[in-house]
Amino acid sequence: MSDLDEIRLAAWGAAHVPGLAGPVTVTKFPGGQSNPTYRVEAATGHYVLRRKPFGTILPSAHAVEREYRLIAALHPSGFPVARPYALCEDRQVIGAPFYLMELVEGRTLWNGALPDMATAERTATYEAIIDTLAALHAIDPDAVGLGDYGRPGNYFARQVERWTRQYRASQTDEVPEIESLIAFLPSTVPAQTRTSIVHGDYRIDNMIFAADTPQVLAVLDWELSTLGDPLADLSYFLMNWVTEPEGRSGVKGLAGPETGIPTMEAMVARYCAATGRDGVPDLDWYFAYNLFRLAGIVQGIKKRMLDGNASSADAANTVARLPGLAAAAWQFAQRAGAA
């Protein structure tokens, strides 16, 4: 049973998506804490719907309109994203703004350890992921109509300010490490040397892979995308190498020739070769920032859970990670010079 009005959705789709005809059946995809996502089966084909959450949400969060603009700009460039079909900003249709896009058939890899793969396939999969990231960062935002997709200035300075504000807006109690990070991060922001399209949540389970090759067919979940420092995406992806294997993206201790999972150093070298860099700066500050941002996201989920608006039944398990994220973020901050 869907929480969407399938009759109204079918009528809207028939009017706005060429070739779509009802009736439609809507099934919510499992997982995902933020913008609820659904499989839409119509008489004429299959689609994916992403909508804002119902109920009260934080300002600037869950911006499906931005997501739609982004994939509509990237798709013609050949970068692997789902084909966008139509955006609906009228809440009267299903109760929240939403958009429809292509359903990309392929594999979702939930576990970064890739336990069911051969050694060489693991290597090729990780190389495809880092090559796709390098390709994203090579796109000229102006050339695809996204020159105004983010504000000018230092990306990390803006992001620290943004996630501090988001954290405060959803704060439910005091976490000492978070308070220390809020004091430390803004005063130690690294200089920014490049600007690119930034995905904002670049990880293995936000991609669709081809059924029988390591090819990335589509990068998903662009909710946090903007223009900014490409080191944001790179350092976020490299967090996997300092995150314990938890059945998700963490591969700490698993990299090396015996598994085929490339080392962090190998990933950095491949990315630098593709993007013309001669190296990346010390990553401890970036890791502290990434964990602080994750803590802010989890705090938002906690607030929505307490308010009864969390979109995943797994929200409580996610919220339980908050103290550990805060502690790990502060440890990296200390390695980066925090006292």
* The pLDDT value given to residue 268: 98
Q: What is the CA radius of gyration of the chain?
A: 20
The half-sphere exposure of 169 on its side-chain side, counting CA atoms within 13 A, is 17
Amino acid at 281: P
Amino acid at 315: A
Helix (H) or strand (E) holding 40: strand 37-42
Q: Which CATH architecture has domain 6-102?
A: 2-Layer Sandwich (3.30)
Task: Give every strand in the sheet of 37-42, ordered side by side.
Answer: 24-28, 37-42, 45-51, 98-102, 84-88
* The pLDDT value given to residue 313: 66
* The pLDDT value given to residue 317: 80
* The pLDDT value given to residue 57: 58
* The pLDDT value given to residue 58: 53
Q: Which residues contact 255 (CB under 8 A, 6 or more apart)?
A: 241, 261, 262, 263, 264
- Check: CB of residue 121 under 8 Å from CB of residue 78: no
Q: Is 331 exposed, middle or buried (0-12, 13-18, 19+ CB in 10 A)?
A: middle
Q: What is the CATH number of domain 119-335?
A: 3.90.1200.10
* The pLDDT value given to residue 305: 85
Percent of the chain's residues with pLDDT above 90: 78
Q: Which residues pair with 98 in a beta bridge?
A: 51, 88
* The pLDDT value given to residue 44: 87
**d(Cα 207, Cα 29) in Å, to the nearest integer?**
15
pLDDT tens across 4-59, in order?
889 999 999 999 999 999 899 999 987 655 788 999 999 889 999 999 887 655 55
pTM of the entire predicted model? 0.88
Tokens of 183: 């004091």
- Check: CB of residue 64 under 8 Å from CB of residue 99: yes
**d(Cα 288, Cα 290) in Å, to the nearest integer?**
6
Low-confidence spans in the chain with pLDDT less than 50: 1
**d(Cα 49, Cα 26) in Å, to the nearest integer?**
9
Closest C-alpha to 155, from 211, 251, 227: 227
Distance of CA 108 to the CA centre of its chain: 14
Strands 45-51 and 98-102: antiparallel
Q: Where are the domains of the chain?
A: 6-102, 119-335
Tokens of 268: 């950095």
